[in-house]
Amino acid sequence: MKSLLKLFNSTLCLIIFYSCQNNEKLQISRGNEFVSSYNKEINTIEIFDTASFIYIPLETNGKCLIGEINKVIIDDNLIFVMDNQFANCLYVFDINGRFISQIGKQGKGNNEYNRIIDFDINPVDNEIVIYDLNRRSLLFFNYQGEFLNHELLKEYCGMTLAFLAKKSYAFYLHEKIGNCDWQLVIYKNGERLNKRLFPFVNQVSPLLMPDYFSRNDSGIFFIPVNYDEIYRISPEGDIIKAYDFELQSLFEKKLNEPKNNTHVNHLTNFESLKVNNKGQFFCWTSYDNNVIQIFGNLSNSRLKYGTKFSDFDNRPEEIIGIYGDYFISVFYPYVSSLRNRFPNSEKDENPGILLFKINL
């Protein structure tokens, strides 16, 4: 048990506070409380349900060479793992980590891709959607890896994909094109961009956000760049507000200051949002040049913060997915501080995934 706690002791220092019930006071109190107390410590056992930790080593063989895990989706007892940085592949494993197959392959045919930039699933029909950025196309496969069809996008839609329903997708548009400075687009029926939402406010430059969307059983969630609110997208493409951090005043301070500032005393964008089936969520931001990890629940205003200095080499591994009530993180066995924590970690040179629950 102690070794499990040490896994996160070195990466997370967490504090908790309770907000006021009065809405007006809540807005004022939340920002002031954040500034004054984000870097206090509490015991990590208050956050992590250590008895729930599950380590799944991913099988290594000549057909599956993972350089870096960029995204994980688990559905129907299958683990879908994307490595679009090194292998340019999407792999499928069973729930125990045994390699099953690769989905699609690189090439020039209609059933092949040039570069995987993102993928998502259609959990209703057990289909996988691969987004090929270079060819501006979507490729559809079933969970067994059989090619179904492909769809060419008539307009450039960005770099991050979320499947909503048949012929309906959401994209994060990370760059301004012409007069278009909208960051969220809804693409329906292969004809046009039906909705353009959430402009990049105050002329702020768009950012590359490879994990803009988070999927759970109730829908697709996201936090717009330079907003302090969580939204859900319905299968019909409707946008529903799901949570308000009530820290917009800290964003406004950043947006009104010169662009060449050092971001000290500034709140940066909320990134890496993950929402599990219990409504618990994780994301991170930066304030006063410290990386701050945030855990919360969509059903209440209580938040738990964890802070760490922004040293890139020592930054904690990000949470990259959810599975039911679990959060998913990546486990790299070649990191010496993590050896001997889980079975087979020393023998397996491929990454594995770590599933855990939190207490909120």
Kindly report, residue by residue over 187-238, the tens digit of the pLDDT: 887 766 667 788 876 555 567 777 899 999 999 999 998 888 999 999 888 8
- Which residues lie below 8 Å from residue 185, measured CB to CB, with a gap of 6+? 157, 158, 170, 171, 173, 193, 195, 196, 197
Q: Which two tokens stand for residue 93?
A: 């494993």
CATH homologous superfamily, domain 2-358: TolB, C-terminal domain (2.120.10.30)
Backbone phi and psi for residue 283, each to the nearest 5 degrees, phi listed first: -160, 175
351 in Cβ contact with 330 (< 8 Å) = yes
Mean pLDDT of 82-100: 94
Over pLDDT 70: what percentage of the chain?
71
Q: What is the DSSP letter of 104?
A: S
Who's near 103: CB < 8 A, 6+ residues apart? 80, 90, 91, 92, 128, 130, 141, 145
* Token pair of 161 as six digits: 């994909």
Distances (CA, A) of 21 to 14, 27, 86, 187, 310: 23, 10, 49, 40, 33
In this prediction, residue 113 has a pLDDT band, given cuts at 50, 70 and 90, of very high
Residue with token string 């699609």? 104
3-state secondary structure of 187: strand
Mean pLDDT of 105-123: 93
User: What length does the chain have?
Assistant: 360
With 0-12 / 13-18 / 19 or more C-beta atoms within 10 angstroms meaning exposed / middle / buried, residue 177 is exposed
Q: What pLDDT shows up at residue 62?
A: 79
Q: E strands along 234-289, which residues?
A: 239-244, 271-275, 280-287
- Please state, for a pLDDT cut of 90, what percent of the chain lies above it: 37
Instruction: Give start and end residues of each alpha helix (H) in the chain.
Output: 2-9, 23-37, 248-255
Predicted confidence (pLDDT) per residue in 134-153, tens digit: 999 999 999 999 999 999 98
The residue-averaged pLDDT of 13-32 equals 38
Q: Evaluate whether 141 touches 128 at the Cβ level (below 8 Å).
A: yes
Question: Could you give the CA distance from residue 280 to residue 304 in angstroms, rounded to a whole number?
Answer: 11
Model's pTM, two decimal places? 0.83
277-297 average pLDDT score: 87
Contact (CB, 8 A) for 69 and 84: no
Q: What is the pLDDT of residues 291-316, one digit of tens each?
A: 788 889 999 888 877 664 333 333 34
Q: Domain ranges in the chain?
A: 2-358
Q: What is the DSSP string of 61-97?
A: BTTB--S---EEEEETTEEEEEETTTT-EEEEEETTS
β-partners of residue 303 are 17, 296
